[in-house]
Structure 1
């Protein structure tokens, strides 16, 4: 199917979700970034989100009325298979990202569908989940899996397809392929990693079905009044993180890994961030989610940047990127940082406290916060004084965590709520593929390397043979959430009903 000028389609597969939970379209930044690179390369690129369809699809049929039960009991939301095949028919290369393990089944199912009907197409995948599960992805029919940041990798695949109808992709660095029945991994070269992020192309956000996303009104983060006119987009002002927590994929992205050291913290210039904001505004975006892994890591840079974007004319929201230590100065609230966040338009911050135990913090969370020395009640009070809504995230169920240590974390959350924290979220530790914790869990028998990805979700204790059994961990998590949070927050989280064009938006 290759041609002299191959066409590339970037495809979000249909979404799968748990019953009685809200399905949210993917819309990750991977595809706009890759599309921007392909455009700059002179490649004809398209983007199709099979969860919501495009303007030729009826949104009721594509999204609201489409959920069907899968054999796993999960629900599939998106356009029918025939529509996916029609969308990919005229393209030579199809890219399907796999960042999120819980969506792996839909990625592989979509790949098998395309391979069955179009055996000559080049199928690419990438993302931390794909590069960690190579054998499954090749068994589903993928031609190659990109192992690192892929703005340049995908253009090299296009060049190879221009030269040959059956290109050999194994020579491309940063790519895994199958040769003579064996998986061949060609690691990325360190000199190919973009240390200067300003040299990356501006993401092609215009290819996303933005108006469909806005109509559905279900961004990944934030709590919005039903009357809010949502016109949101996402950007990243930096990549990587100075911390290397065992449960985060960044900890595995080192020079020794095929991905190369892409976990290293790198920043865009202020001017580049302002350019991207203007690009989003030009598309009608009013709310911008900053999705950095560590937005505040360079505090001076962050304060300076926030001051510059204060008058950008958009509401700045944060989904990620805040570590508690960056809001402290000598263990007390850092008022300069808090004032900068509020002045830039932040109204809500999630504080990842992770654990109430220094041993656990040092073992699994980069020792990034001394919970004993930090004056967290003063930080909570300062946030409330500045008008910020603040929630806390707490993690339970590390492999060797004792009941006493788990209770320490629960009691810490209780004290934080008593000090003014608006809500406490409790998460069971997930050993996601690509993280050091996953490797540890497999090596110590806490997880089968061939686990069912449909079971890897936030509702479950996914590891076995932990000090506190998985069933008990789930009971502790549920009880803590019920006892510590106020009724209004619990009602909101149970319904998760958001604004939709009509009354169609019932949760599922």
Structure 2
């Protein structure tokens, strides 16, 4: 049996500093492939990442990045797989995944097509209703996909595996909790290291050096993203992580993590690590051990936390050690500058006073800090929204904490998405895009006006800090030179705010 694990090409919209594709080794697919190789399943594995073609094509009001449909179909036909597994990380890209499935069935009509990822985990019936898709896999894929392949290998096309959906009846095997309908791998150390040898690592590194790095503000020549933990015990209304990774915090041990990092550095020359964990500092003792290990490298392996960390786990010593170990910046997930909104609406157990402490610690040790904010939650008032904008800009002025503020994106599989849908707080259909909410307190037009005003003020603070703080000027010039396209669109959006 031959398995082809595929990643579709990418839909790109030119919007601010994110106006670029982000390409990195596919962590989930590599973990599935590694697990397969160590299982009882017999067969061969090929990974095809359609993004690596790195070509751009204009399609109406968006761009497609990666191989053309013709190229994708030809690659699948040449591979002649028996099973095709499709990975899709974002609801905004689900149409590309479904198109990949159509091309897969056309190129290999007798192959079994399986799809997984967060969107499919929330809408499995939508996925299997597609004529090109045979199975949908919910949640983590290592064990379920392997069990499915073992079943297919013995001729069982209707296996009863929790989280493997071929018909509506298979939903009966799921747990009653819609946010965590399946079980999850535990302990995580039972998983082998990802199968990096099955992909063209130098190609990913080359694209990163051209500005197509896995994350924005990335300064390495051989960067990579990695996860050292999964799951989140917190219940923020906008986050869908529990659907794919569960509520329980599960972490690789410090020993496993050290081995993983050492493998990346020794075998692939990795010089920058993006720790993508949702809860890197949830277990502060484990985090401290990882940072101690990062401090052993000479020269330092640079690292950051682009997915956000908690703001209440920091001490001055912890910030100092992060800086000394090679950390280039931290991103703190604040969400709102109003404590009532955090407590009652976002349901994020976070004390803003502790966040201010973190900001002071980072400024004291010279560690760059970014912050996530979201405006437009149902239940917020205009005063709440404006207070969050003021909080974000004030902390930018006072502490240099770079704000990354955006209107709410309703993500399928979240409480806020269900709330918006059930209450009818939207116009037309709910898209997985910014600024979809309409309540008695605000509507998209009002929120857009506030957001534009924020962009204008943020640009002014950016310019002032660049002119008055020499290290900021050097950093920002470096940023603009590395991401000229993104800088252009960010400036354009800010200037449009004046109109």
- Give the TM-score range, shorter chain: 0.7 to 0.9
Cα deviation code 1:476-505 (max 9, x no counterpart): 112112203413599969x966379xx9x9
Q: 1:194-232: CA deviations, max 9, x gaps?
A: 2211111111123233222221222232424xxx55101
Task: Give the number of aligned pairs.
Answer: 461
**Equivalent in 55, 62, 75 of residue 63 of structure 2:** 75
Residue in structure 2 matched with residue 437 of structure 1 by the alignment:
416
**2:229 aligned with 1:238, yes or no?**
yes
So what's the TM-score if we normalise by structure 1?
Answer: 0.83
Structure richer in helix, relative to its length: 2
Match of 1:17 in 2: 12
> Structure 1 residues 117 and 347, CA, compared in 2 at 3 Å: closer, same or farther?
closer
Alignment partner of 1:173 is 2:162: yes
Deviation at 1:273, TM superposition (A): 0.3
Aligned to 1:330: none
Structure 1's 437 and 209: CA in aligned 2 closer, same or farther, altered over 3 A? Answer: farther
Q: Tell me, what secondary structure is at the counterpart of 2:358?
A: helix
Q: Please say if 1:299 is aligned against 2:284.
A: yes
Does 144-153 or 261-270 show the bigger shift?
261-270
Q: Distance in 2 between matches of 1:445 and 1:170?
A: 39
Of 203, 227, 233, which aligns to 2:194? 203
Q: 1:506 to 1:397 in 2, by over 3 A?
A: closer
Q: Secondary structure at the match of 1:223?
A: coil
Instruction: Give distance in 2, aligned partners of 1:108 and 1:121.
Output: 15
- Secondary structure in 2 aligned to 1:390? strand
Q: How many angstroms apart in 1 are the aligned matches of 2:402 and 2:288?
A: 27
Of 58, 70, 73, the match for 1:85: 73
Give the deviation of 1:150 after TM superposition: 1.5
Question: How far is the alpha carbon of 1:30 from its aligned partner?
Answer: 0.9
Deviation at 1:16, TM superposition (A): 0.5
Q: 2:136 aligns with which of 135, 145, 150?
A: 145
Give the one of 274, 297, 312 matched to 1:325: 312
SS of residue matched to 1:347: strand
Q: Which position in structure 2 is the counterpart of 1:355?
A: 336
Deviations 1:405-434 (A, max 9, x none): 011111111221221224211111111011
* RMSD (Å) for aligned C-alpha atoms: 3.0
- Whether the 8 Å contact between 2:229 and 2:252 is mirrored in structure 1 is yes
Deviation at 1:384, TM superposition (A): 2.0
The aligned counterpart of 1:331 is none
Asked whether 1:456 is paired with 2:435, we answer no
Q: Which residue of 1 aligns with 2:469?
A: none
SS in 1 for 2:166: strand
Q: How far does residue 136 in structure 1 lie from its aligned partner after superposition?
A: 2.9
**Residues 419 and 79 of structure 1: CA distance in aligned 2, closer, same or farther (over 3 Å):** same
Distance of aligned partners of 1:192 and 1:439 in 2 relative to their CA distance in 1, 3 Å threshold? closer
Q: How big is the shift at 1:170?
A: 4.4
Shift in Å at residue 392 of structure 1? 1.8
* TM-score with structure 2 setting the length: 0.84
1:71-470 equivalences in 2 (<5 Å): 71=60, 73-89=61-77, 90-140=80-130, 141-164=132-155, 167-178=156-167, 184=171, 186-187=173-174, 193-217=184-208, 218-224=212-218, 228-250=219-241, 252-253=242-243, 262-281=246-265, 282-312=267-297, 314-327=301-314, 334-371=315-352, 373-374=353-354, 376=356, 378-447=357-426, 451=430, 455-457=431-433, 460-465=434-439, 467-470=441-444
Tell me, in whole angstroms, the C-alpha distance in 2 between the residues paired with 1:28 and 1:432.
Answer: 21
Asked if 1 retains the 8 angstrom alpha-carbon contact of 2:223 and 2:271, the reply is: yes
Where does structure 2 lack aligned partners over 5 or more consecutive residues? 467-471, 491-499
Note if contact 1:270-1:305 (Cα within 8 Å) is conserved in structure 2.
yes
Q: How far is the alpha carbon of 1:108 from its aligned partner?
A: 1.1
